[in-house]
Amino acid sequence: MSIILGIAGLFCYPSLTWANRHSVRHIKHHSNHASKKTVKTKSGHRTLKSPKTTNTQNKTSNDRADLLRAQQRKQQLLEKSETEKKLAQEAQKNRLEAQQKAQQDAYKARQIITNMVAATTELQDTEKQAADLSDRIQELKVQEKNLDMQLREESQNLARFLPLIERLSLYPADTLLAAPMNSSKSIIGLSIIQSLSSRLEIQAQQIRQHQTELQQLRKDLLSKNKTLETVIKKQSIQRNQLVIAAKIAKENQKKSSAAASKAAIAAAKAAQNARNINDAIQRIEAERQAAEKRLAAEIAAAKRANNLAKAEAAQKQASALNANNSGPGLIAQSNSRNAPVVGPIISRWGTRTDSGPAQGITYAPPSSATVRSPCRGQVEFSGPFRAYGKMIILNCGKQYRFVLAGMAQLEVAIGQNINKGVIVGQMPSWNGSNVGKPTLYVQLRLGTRAINPAPFL
């Protein structure tokens, strides 16, 4: 029965089976057609691409984009590296140029100092030459005056005999026979006349010699005056050039530590009101020690607050302050030409004065003489001080201090570091009279006590 029904089904539904097969083939055809992608080529023909091919091309395109970005990034890094290299080279070049300029500036500063020392020495030599010429001119004037007085006296003595000499020369016989006398007296008279004639001849020769000497003295005096004029002009030019150089050096050396300059100015202000030089030295030393303590406290406070920048800055200030107060000191010299000024010494160390033994050396320099530094160090005081005139206190280091007083003009400033031998001031002008002649007082202190400055000058 089942077999019969199966056979009957085949014969009853033949069209349905064919339709199903046709439908399946149609679906497959459309499915295959849909799974392929149409792509237009360069030649204009259309081709079909599979999804696999599309994915591969997309990946290749992405790789190419990544590669391009990587190359661009590499190029940017290379350009950045090249720029940084150029900047580094430029910075290095600038550092080298700055170092070279600093070295050149330091060399120029040393040259300025060397030239100033040489110029000061040359100026003092010129001043000494001018002083020697002035002294010689004064001596010649005295000689001229004395010789002129002697000639006048000799001429007056000779003038009394001139009428007799003239009469004898014109009328010898009449003169001798003017009065009758015996032979013996006539012989005595002749002898007296011969002796007198010899004496008068000697006096006449002396007068002629003295007249020749006087003429030569006047010639020498005229020549010395001309030479002195030339020397004075040279001296004036040298002094003006040196004053200009000193001003430049003063401005250049104001670049020292601000803390050191501030401490020096404070110390000088304290010394300004001192009773005497010893009191001034004590006040300067006390102010310096107080400045050191203030900086030490500031350093400690900055370290406790962990403020390293402030501590470092204060440490630099303290170092600068110590450097300005720790000079080379002094060494006694047996054969030296370190006198701070030209001129004779009128009072030496230990000389008795109204106030006791002299505690320094006093010079009598010529008019407007140049005063130079007796040591290298820092100027702690510069200005007028009581009856001493304008004065400087120079810290030479190792507790040595020179005091120079009596100047009319100062060429250094408070806090300035100066070298030995440079100009520090100028003496007052003087007209040559013995009244009110300016003097330079030089004192040397070791700590707070005065010592003999002669071995260091």
pLDDT in tens, 131-143: 888 888 888 888 8
- Tell me, which fold does domain 256-456 have in CATH? Glucose Permease (Domain IIA) (2.70.70)
The C-alpha atoms of residue 96 and residue 104 are separated, in whole angstroms, by 12
pLDDT at 129: 82
Which residue, 333, 339, 337, 321, is CA-closest to 402? 339
For the segment 306-345, what is each residue's pLDDT rounded down to a tens digit? 888 888 888 877 777 676 666 667 877 655 567 899 999 9
Tell me what pLDDT residue 337 has: 66
Tell me what pLDDT residue 121 has. Answer: 82
**pTM of the predicted model as reported, rounded to 2 decimal places:** 0.63
Measured at the CA of 326, the angle between CA 322 and CA 328, to 5 degrees, comes to 160
* Kind of pairing between the strands at 440-446 and 400-407: antiparallel
Question: Do the Cβ atoms of 38 and 46 come closer than 8 Å?
Answer: yes
Range with the poorest average pLDDT among 103-107, 332-336, 362-366, 437-441? 332-336
Report d(CA 411, CA 404) in Å as an integer: 13
At residue 405, the pLDDT reads 95
pLDDT of residue 96: 80
Which residue bears the tokens 């004639």?
197
Q: Specify the pLDDT at position 371.
A: 94
CA dist., res. 356 & res. 350, Å (int): 8
Confidence at residue 253, expressed as pLDDT on a 0 to 100 scale: 63
User: What CA–CA distance (Å, rounded) separates 260 from 317?
Assistant: 7
What pLDDT was estimated at residue 22?
A: 46
pLDDT for residue 196 is more than 80: no
Residue 76 confidence (pLDDT) above 60: yes
Q: Tell me the C-alpha distance between 237 and 351, whole Å.
A: 38
Task: Report the pLDDT averaged over residues 271-285.
Answer: 86
Tell me how far apart the alpha carbons of residues 109 and 287 are, in angstroms, rounded to a whole number.
Answer: 30
Q: Which neighbouring-strand residues pair with 425?
A: 371, 410
The confidence score (pLDDT) of residue 442 equals 96
State how beta strands 423-426 and 409-410 pair: antiparallel
What sign results for the dihedral spanned by CA atoms 68, 74, 75, 76?
positive
CB atoms within 10 A of CB 180: 7
Per-residue model confidence as pLDDT tens digits over 212-233: 877 887 788 788 888 878 887 8
E strands along 349-410, which residues? 352-353, 356-357, 361-363, 370-372, 377-384, 390-397, 400-407, 409-410
**Does pLDDT of 53 surpass 50?**
yes
Grade residue 169 by pLDDT with cuts at 50, 70 and 90: low
- Region class of 333: left (phi > 0), else alpha (psi between -120 and 50), else beta: beta
Residue 167: its pLDDT value, please?
65
**Average pLDDT score over residue span 429-447:** 84
Mean pLDDT within 51-74: 76
Under the banding of pLDDT at 50, 70 and 90, the label for residue 408 is very high
Lowest mean pLDDT across 69-78, 229-238, 357-366 = 229-238
Contact 373, 419 (CB under 8 A): yes
State how far the alpha carbon of 71 is from the alpha carbons of 67, 183, 244, in Å: 6, 152, 66
Per-residue pLDDT at 420 exceeds 70: yes
Q: Confidence class of residue 404 from pLDDT cuts 50, 70 and 90? A: very high
Higher pLDDT, 267 or 21: 267
Higher pLDDT: 421 or 181? It is: 421
Q: Residue 23 above 80 pLDDT? A: no
Residue 348 pLDDT: 94
**What is the DSSP secondary structure assignment for residue 427, as one 8-state letter?**
P
Q: Cβ(403)–Cβ(360) under 8 Å?
A: yes
**Highest mean pLDDT of the ranges 26-30, 282-286, 291-295, 452-456:** 452-456
d(CA 165, CA 172): 9
Buried b (16+ CB within 10 A) or exposed e, 118-144: ebbeebbebbebbbebbeebeebeeeb
Select from 351, 347, 350 the least CA-distant residue to 361.
347
**Whole-number mean pLDDT of the chain?**
76
Banded pLDDT at 6 (limits 50, 70, 90) = very low
pLDDT reported for residue 363: 95
CA dihedral 301, 304, 309, 310 (to 10 degrees): -10
Stated as kind and residue range, the H or E segment containing 416 is none
